[in-house]
Amino acid sequence: MPLNIRCPNCNYEGPGKIRYKGSVLVGCALLFFFIIPGLIYALWQSSTGHASCPQCNWSNVVVTGGTTGIPTAAGLAIVGVIIIFGFAFFFWWG
């Protein structure tokens, strides 16, 4: 079930978007060059998810229905660790 929102700024009602603070490029660079700071950055970035309006990008929307759909930091951290160890295994032993 998608995240349904109501925007008080433009009066939009419907499915919303999930937005995160930070940059994906910075996160990838940190993970590539510095694994531990990269994981910390990924955890921080994943914990900043918030619903926003897809029309006007307003962040202070009202969630009217559906699940929040925002992944938890712990869930994303587990995926990140699995990816990191997969790359490490591939490059060191592959």
**What is the average pLDDT value for the chain, to the nearest integer?**
78
Distance separating alpha carbons of residues 47 and 15, to the nearest angstrom: 21
pTM: 0.54
Our CA dihedral for 45, 50, 55, 58, rounded to 10 degrees, sits at -100
pLDDT tens column, 47-82: 787 888 889 888 888 888 765 555 555 566 666 777
Average pLDDT over residues 27-48: 83
Average pLDDT over residues 23-45: 83
pLDDT score, position 22: 84
